[in-house]
Structure 1
Amino acid sequence: MTRRALRGRLLSFVGDPADAGAGASHRHIEDGLVVIEDGLIRAVGEAHDLLGGLVPGTPVEHWPDCLILPGLIDTHIHYPQTRVIASYGTQLLDWLQRYTFPEEQRFADPAHAAATADFFLDELLRNGTTTAAVYCTVRPESVDAFFAASERRNMRMIAGKVMMDRGAPPGLLDTAEQGYRESRELAARWHGRGRQLYAVTPRFAVTSTQAQLEAAGALLREIEGVWMQTHLSENEREIATVRELFPEASSYTDVYDRAGLLGPRSLFGHCIHLAAEELQRLSATRSVACFCPTSNLFIGSGLFDLATMRDPARPVRVGLATDVGGGTSYSMLQTAAEAYKVLQLRGQNLPALEAFYMMTLGNARALGLEDRIGALEPGREADIAVLDCRATPAMAHRMESVEGDLAEELFVLMTMGDDRAVRATYVAGERRHVSPRAG
């Protein structure tokens, strides 16, 4: 049995601050202890209450002046796009053709796929992210490489083979039957193996025929417990193209609904330009809209409307996501900072407590994994991020004027923080990243 304990300032959420109120939404312990055994959290509480009961010899890793939180969670990201990030000057459909598709063709090479998966996962860990919903490529080799790399790190990941049977170079196309067969084989190989989980992944309606979308729907019905991820209503030209390709559908959302792709495990990236009836259908099916602020700004797609998603008459579940490589940062902290700015342009706001809820328990709930990850609670998997609010000289200087106000401290961390603010990342209780500053 492996044991360790982490000591420091603990922060974990029990509810959404937007619903529960700021004070009732979280648990904050100034000198706390997280006790870990065999990858699970066994106890959480005040350090002075728990230290005396530790099994003799249990190592205690002390992070004074740092915040210990659940590992950060990303609901929409593309691992083959690590070399597409920061590609200049086009909007969505041109961006895919000019940058993304040429890069994704390289993933037919298993060695390239494996090397990229290693880089990608290590970069997530450097940024405190321990779980993500990940797009691979159309090639099964890319999926095997990704899950093998994740399994070696014992990370809890959701991922799947992209399905595309039109609108892309020949080297990236499958067929409806091939996409169904390869996805089914990959799910049989990886779904539920250790901490690996599978997502049926039609890229979007522009690159999948009706037959392929229906094949994706069949996979959801036939394979218990898998997810579905795709893109929805990101860009005006994309929406017009979908209208031309599916004239029988009443809306973009209706295209997916007709194929049986909506539901509580369905993750829809972007969801910017939705009509009222589309929002109603997403709400009724408990589907998830993934807010990707850095990508939406960088590619010029539009501004996400969080207030509309929270309409009590038809609330839509929301996840926060980086969307690398259209997104410009692997950091969920930077992503939250850009989310704040997007909402400011909408005349809305994103308090820091709500942002950190979204990055942790909120995204766990969006993925349906709140019983396993997203909180510092006994029985949860011990995925943990240690964050430093004074990680840079500018942050330390700003923090001199923060006088014991947790919300203000978190806002500094979210607005000015990035990978440098991550002192350590633990996966199932094992330290998988430590900053050089940690010594």
Structure 2
Amino acid sequence: MQSNKLILCADLLDLTDDPLRFGEDSVRFQAEGALVIEGGKIVDRGTKADMLARYGSSATVKEYENKIIVPGFIDTHIHLPQTEMIAAYGEQLLTWLKEYAFPTEMKFADYDHAKQVSEIFLNELLRNGTTTALVFGTVHPQSVEAFFESAQARGLRMIAGKVMMDRNCPDELQDTAEQGYQETKALIEKWHGVDRLSYAVTPRFAPTSTPEQLNACQKLLQEYPDVYMHTHTSENVAECEWVKELYPNSQDYVGVYEDAGLLRKRSVLAHGIHLNDREIDCLCRTETAIAHCPTSNLFIGSGLFRLKELHSRGVQVAMGTDIGAGTSFSMLQTFNEAYKVQQLQGNRLTAFEGLYLSTLAGARALDLEGVIGQLEPGCEADLVVLDPEATPLMQLRLQNSNSLHEKLFALMMLGDDRCIFQTYSFGQLVHSI
């Protein structure tokens, strides 16, 4: 009889806490370690010798030479429908939406198209080691249906929502406050909490929702208190000025969402580049998280995210790719750009901090600490087997790496999907080179 226990043997690396606050004391590294997996969860961890001695006779054993196992990456802001328009040239946010994003999203009225792109999208996530994502659909309910069906079939932990927009967008992408409420309610009833799937109430951003629609979002959050809320804030200077015109009675951009009662734990706002002091305090007070999306911020010229300032003031920050304004599904490449964004502000971002932002910080932002984001017994076995020598250049560079941090930093700066040797979701192999 085949055992249902699985032992994965490699170097193990994860974070026990925030290295931005606790430094290397929060880094947990086990050379020649092993994870014991059963029923989709990590049930034990330790040295390879100890785990094999304890469980080896009753388990399937996989040994990885010169590899590092880390938690599956968590992408806290990404757009499903923009997969096919990634790397669209030459615009800043508001014209980029009009010229590229909105026309592409219109295609998702067709379920078959949504299903096809969902499969490609999930393949790309897993190929890049991302096992959980907070995902924008389109205004069409079928975009979310198709996505959840594909994610469910693969046993993935995913969070998604139908976009709600009732003004300042093409007619083909516009709902009403009541329609958005009813369609979202039906999707929550059907999908939220099913298997490993969760729902996010998803007003696109303040300019495309009336106060009535934001009130409908609040009603949904009151009726279903464990769903997520996912939107954008303070990405672009012109966008911020537009919000002032549309919501003159709110104190500021974050204040629009605050007034509507949308800020709380499990609320995630993407970007947050141009926040004022009051907005930062509000985010901290309401336990609202920010998704930092450096490749997108640089690509469409939005600005430099003040990571160190927000972090020092207690705001929960995690990482997002923001495909398709973002330019890579790879969280390794996303760290690459996040590092440069901090360099331009005279700050350092360590590789350990980058790994935290891509794993445990994402779990905390999504209120899933203890479920994903760590190599901890009791956590779901969403894992990535990294190959730090995936290319000849990396092999050469790592010959001269004398510390764990230097090795990880080189991997995260030079690495991409070629470094993702294997990806596991709930203990099942879902991608392999």
Measured against the shorter chain, the TM-score band is over 0.9
Q: Residues of 1 paired with 2:269 and 2:345: CA distance?
A: 21
Report Cα offsets for 1:146-178 as digits up to 9, x if no partner. 000000111101110000001111111100000
Alignment of 1:219-238 (within 5 A): 219-238=220-239
Residue type at the aligned position of 1:340:
Y
Kindly indicate whether residue 418 of structure 2 is the aligned counterpart of residue 420 of structure 1: yes
Kindly indicate whether residue 132 of structure 2 is the aligned counterpart of residue 154 of structure 1: no
For residue 56 of structure 1, report the CA deviation from its aligned partner. 3.4
Q: Residues of 1 paired with 2:311 and 2:105: CA distance?
A: 36
Residue type at the aligned position of 2:327:
T
For residue 2 of structure 1, report the CA deviation from its aligned partner. 2.7
Partner of 2:392: 393
Alignment of 1:8-407 (within 5 A): 8-22=10-24, 24-54=25-55, 56-311=57-312, 314-403=313-402, 405-407=403-405
Report Cα offsets for 1:281-326 as digits up to 9, x if no partner. 1111111111100000000000000121023xx3211011100000
Residue type at the aligned position of 1:135:
F
Q: Under a length normalisation based on structure 1, what TM-score does the superposition of the two structures give?
A: 0.97
Q: Residues of 2 paired with 1:335 and 1:227: CA distance?
A: 23
Q: Residues of 2 paired with 1:2 and 1:200: CA distance?
A: 37
Percent sequence identity over aligned pairs: 51
SS in 2 for 1:121: helix
Report Cα offsets for 1:411-431 as digits up to 9, x if no partner. 001100000000000000000
SS in 1 for 2:303: coil
Aligned-residue CA RMSD (Å): 1.0
Report Cα offsets for 1:233-252 as digits up to 9, x if no partner. 00011111111111111111
Residue type at the aligned position of 1:59:
T
Q: Residues of 1 paired with 2:321 and 2:347: CA distance?
A: 20
**Greater displacement, 52-61 / 3-12:** 52-61
Partner of 1:409: 407
Partner of 2:430: 432
For residue 340 of structure 1, report the CA deviation from its aligned partner. 0.2
SS in 1 for 2:359: helix
SS in 2 for 1:65: strand
Partner of 1:4: 6
Q: Residues of 2 paired with 1:21 and 1:70: CA distance?
A: 19
Asked if structure 1 preserves the Cα contact closer than 8 Å seen for 2:316 and 2:361, the reply is no
Q: Structure 2: 5+ residue runs without aligned partners?
A: none
SS in 2 for 1:105: helix
Report Cα offsets for 1:215-263 as digits up to 9, x if no partner. 1111111103100000000001111111111111111111111100111
Q: Under a length normalisation based on structure 2, what TM-score does the superposition of the two structures give?
A: 0.98
Residue type at the aligned position of 1:306:
L
For residue 21 of structure 1, report the CA deviation from its aligned partner. 2.1
- Deviating 4+ runs (over 6 angstroms): none
Residue type at the aligned position of 1:112:
H
Q: Residues of 1 paired with 2:56 and 2:62: CA distance?
A: 15
For residue 57 of structure 1, report the CA deviation from its aligned partner. 5.0
SS in 2 for 1:310: helix
Q: Residues of 2 paired with 1:45 and 1:38: CA distance?
A: 19
Residue type at the aligned position of 1:190:
W
SS in 2 for 1:144: helix
Q: Residues of 2 paired with 1:294 and 1:56: CA distance?
A: 47
